[in-house]
Structure 1
Amino acid sequence: MERVKQLASHLIPGSSKGLAAVEKKNPDDVVITMAIRSPLCKARKGGFKDTKSEELLLEMFKQSVARSSIDPGLIGDITVGTVLIPGAAYVARAASLAAGIPEQVPVQVVNRFCSSGLMAVTDIANKIRAGQIDIGLAVGVESMTDHPDDGWKPQSELLAGHDIAKDCGMPMGWTSENVAGDFNITREEMDEFAALSFQRAEAAQKAGRFEEETVPFTAFVKDPATGQRTTKVITKDDGIRYGTTKESLLKIRAAFPQWNPSRTTGGNASQITDGAAAVLLMRRSKAEELGLKVIGKHVVTAVTGVPPRVMGVGPLYAIPMALEMTGLTKDEVDLYEVNEAFASQALYCVKQLGLDGEKVNVNGGAIALGHPLDESTLL
């Protein structure tokens, strides 16, 4: 906790804190008036496998314009979070123009790997809070079919020979095994956690709980014989495995037998996925002026670094930082969304923080729904 206080000390807002302050409505609040996403589809074999990443982004922009209830010319800035798209800044600018967003609306790209979508939201929120803009659009997009994550290897011995820096080039599966081994997260615990993710996602999909946030997406289908592409409309996530149990997951072999303790599998790790999402933010006074419904309020973002060899444990430190900055207790938070890159790291964070499991990822997480790097953290 002392480390959390040190990390958060320079970020704590000067205004009053606590639940009452968070719930209070002020004209200068940064609020959300639209939050939508595409269906999440399995990379290489799901609904978007023949749709290019720039086409996903174009469709996301089109959907944002259609569902925002504002003139797109009012948007002061757009930030796109993406990890793998080559020349992402060119693609983002071109896609926004092709979607009918006026040329005077600027676009930029951010990349903080799995939190890139959240960083897009944070960037727009901070610009509104600072008075630079009144309205902004945050977008996340990733096609892991179009651009698989091939990792990175240092080219210089100055990095390759550094004890910590060299770990940045190691595969994420290795980091999952490090978390499982270092912190004694068992295979049975991991599979139990993963099974619950699938079961909750299945229940949520069957109950229609994703329908309000998920918009129908135009995708492409390639004829394997002719190579010609036609369009189709995708309406729901296709990666949720119905009927998943801990017992069925325990039968899956280790995905990384080369690294001890070899507890990570294709069943208790996140799926690689294609998808996109968008969030429209603005000053509360502007939302009221435009007659828009406020569906959420951005209060604070907390970020911190952790050793690369256990990169997934960031929420263990970022969540207490956010609580410290807002003056909230962990029990005053109704719902938590913790990234499920791997069951090992998500479960470790939940256990160490002492979170109520009934409040965590109540509609399933990335293990069940998929993890298109940036976008899976945006909504």
Structure 2
Amino acid sequence: MREAVIVSTARTPIGKAFRGAFNETQAQALGGHAIHHAVNRAGVELHEVEDVIYGTASQQGSSGFNTARQCALRAGLPVSVGGQSVDRQCASGMVAIATAARQIIVDGIDIAVGGGGESISLVRNEHRNTYRSQDPWLSKHYPALYMSMIETAEIVAERYGVSREAQDAYALNSQVRTAAAKELGRFDDEIVPMASTIKTVNKDTGEASYREILLEQDEGNRPETTLEGLKALKPVFKNGQQIKRGACITAGNASQLSDGASASVLMEAKAASRRGLSPLGIYRGLAVAGCSPDEMGIGPVFAVPKLLKQHQLKVDDIGLWELNEAFAVQVLYCRDQLGIPDELLNVNGGSISIGHPFGMSGARMVGHALIEGKRRGVKYVVCTMCAGGGMGAAALFEVA
């Protein structure tokens, strides 16, 4: 039976949206950088890649034209290599890796790239509407489908009794874990530094200036964070009819808007063995599930049991968990409902402290979980996340 193995992973550092190092860098350049270096690390020739599957929550380019194809060409892959874009919102990058794996297992190709990325800076700006147009029928029958993600997080907090205090404490722990991990070099094996031009606007004059920069590490971590500082932050959401008590989602206990990209090279296991490659891990499966759009953050509660049942595993069989930190509230609820040990969850922090380029995060989490899982000597890792519209996705990998 054919198996798909991950033989390399590479990503950009993560830049802060709008004011960070990549605020003038195209999504295609970010994706191209990650893909090019992942292929180089795998030791395969550019023309040997048979397909590129790339996840993004916002297609970028002329008429939203297939970001995957554009990133493949930007990476230097020949025109003979195809590209397929995937949109499952925040699960896009991980689903792209799973899709690439299926191409290998089912369709018989030997080498594929799976990854994802996002340029929030160049999509959510004054030149482009943040939200897609709404279908009238869906607006009437499923109005929560078009809720802001912050409002869905507020609903989860209220509906399931997750306190502001617990959210802030979790957010602080994420910052602390990431700071410690950076000091120990836990992200070094996945990041490839990237040069860019950063745009700065003078607040007084409105004049823009540009300077060259080399980003070597993620920009999002705030090691100086304190619990007192988090408590002092005001909620972002202004109460609506659905929120009966005070709002609790702040800039401190929610993921950061960010820019970045990540990619992994997948290969058929026997083909990798013939080349003498040592894989990071083996793709074992993906499960997705839907939930009510107004509480989209709890999607993993439905996707994870489905995944574990498919593979006859239990929570205790998993040595490491990555659960995307869209909001502290949904991580806490999912962790407690699923019974995930805190010491095995997001051990080096997550999107609250690292950053969250929507299409990138799932791909980044897979690469990081495999590297960290190998360092710890665990057998299985699970990556899971909620996704806009009311969904959860979870993927199982065996560490090689």
Shorter-chain TM-score category? 0.7 to 0.9
* CA deviation string 1:316-353 (max 9, x = no partner): 11111111111111111111111110111111000111
- In structure 2, what residue type is equivalent to 1:346? V
- Show the counterpart of 1:30: 4
Alignment of 1:224-243 (within 5 A): 231-243=212-224
Q: Check conservation: 2:121, 2:259, Cα contact below 8 A.
A: yes
- Show the counterpart of 1:206: 183
Query: Residue 184 in 1 paired to residue 158 in 2?
Result: no
Q: Give how far 1:103 is off.
A: 1.6
Runs of 5+ consecutive residues of structure 1 not aligned to the other structure: 1-26
Query: Residue 221 in 1 paired to residue 198 in 2?
Result: yes
What secondary structure is seen at the aligned counterpart in 2 of 1:145?
Answer: helix
Q: Check conservation: 2:326, 2:352, Cα contact below 8 A.
A: yes
* CA deviation string 1:110-141 (max 9, x = no partner): 10100000110111111111143111101211
- In structure 2, what residue type is equivalent to 1:246? L
CA distance in 2, matches of 1:104, 1:146: 29
Q: Higher RCO, 1 or 2 (CA under 8 Å, sep at least 6)? A: 1
Alignment of 1:8-19 (within 5 A): none
Q: Give TM-score, length-normalised by structure 2.
A: 0.83
Q: Check conservation: 1:82, 1:142, Cα contact below 8 A.
A: yes
- Show the counterpart of 2:375: none
* CA deviation string 1:208-247 (max 9, x = no partner): 1110111111222347699675643211001100122323
Q: Give how far 1:46 is off.
A: 1.2
Q: Give how far 1:146 is off.
A: 0.7
- Show the counterpart of 2:237: 256
- In structure 1, what residue type is equivalent to 2:70? A
- In the TM superposition, structure 1's runs of 4+ consecutive aligned residues that sit over 6 Å from their partners are 225-228
Query: Residue 129 in 1 paired to residue 105 in 2?
Result: yes
- Show the counterpart of 1:83: 57
Structure 1 residues 88 and 291 mapped into 2: Cα distance closer, same or farther (>3 Å)?
A: farther
- Show the counterpart of 1:63: 37
Residue 143 of structure 1 is aligned with which of 116, 119, 122?
Answer: 119
What secondary structure is seen at the aligned counterpart in 1 of 2:288?
Answer: coil
Structure 1 residues 97 and 272 mapped into 2: Cα distance closer, same or farther (>3 Å)?
A: same
- Show the counterpart of 1:336: 321
Query: Residue 274 in 1 paired to residue 255 in 2?
Result: no
Structure 1 residues 223 and 368 mapped into 2: Cα distance closer, same or farther (>3 Å)?
A: closer
Alignment of 1:310-321 (within 5 A): 310-321=295-306
- In structure 2, what residue type is equivalent to 1:248? G
CA distance in 2, matches of 1:302, 1:92: 23
Provide the aligned C-alpha RMSD in A: 1.9
Q: Give TM-score, length-normalised by structure 1.
A: 0.88
Structure 1 residues 62 and 289 mapped into 2: Cα distance closer, same or farther (>3 Å)?
A: same
What secondary structure is seen at the aligned counterpart in 1 of 2:77?
Answer: coil
- In structure 2, what residue type is equivalent to 1:217? M
Residue 161 of structure 1 is aligned with which of 118, 133, 140?
Answer: 140
Q: Check conservation: 1:220, 1:229, Cα contact below 8 A.
A: yes
What secondary structure is seen at the aligned counterpart in 2 of 1:299?
Answer: strand
Query: Residue 110 in 1 paired to residue 95 in 2?
Result: no
Residue 193 of structure 1 is aligned with which of 165, 170, 180?
Answer: 170
CA distance in 2, matches of 1:252, 1:94: 40
Residue 152 of structure 1 is aligned with which of 132, 156, 168?
Answer: 132
Q: Give how far 1:91 is off.
A: 4.1
Q: Check conservation: 1:110, 1:119, Cα contact below 8 A.
A: yes
Q: Give how far 1:99 is off.
A: 2.8
Residue 246 of structure 1 is aligned with which of 217, 224, 227?
Answer: 227
CA distance in 2, matches of 1:255, 1:98: 37
What secondary structure is seen at the aligned counterpart in 1 of 2:35?
Answer: helix
Q: Check conservation: 1:89, 1:108, Cα contact below 8 A.
A: no
Runs of 5+ consecutive residues of structure 2 not aligned to the other structure: 365-400
CA distance in 1, matches of 2:39, 2:9: 12
Structure 1 residues 188 and 224 mapped into 2: Cα distance closer, same or farther (>3 Å)?
A: closer
User: Mean Cα displacement is larger for which, 360-369 or 320-329?
Assistant: 320-329
Residue 47 of structure 2 is aligned with which of 62, 66, 73?
Answer: 73
CA distance in 2, matches of 1:187, 1:234: 34
Q: Check conservation: 2:4, 2:269, Cα contact below 8 A.
A: yes
Q: Check conservation: 1:31, 1:298, Cα contact below 8 A.
A: yes
What secondary structure is seen at the aligned counterpart in 2 of 1:288?
Answer: helix
Structure 1 residues 53 and 283 mapped into 2: Cα distance closer, same or farther (>3 Å)?
A: same
Q: Give how far 1:47 is off.
A: 1.4
CA distance in 2, matches of 1:229, 1:187: 40
User: Mean Cα displacement is larger for which, 170-179 or 315-324?
Assistant: 315-324
- In structure 1, what residue type is equivalent to 2:121? T
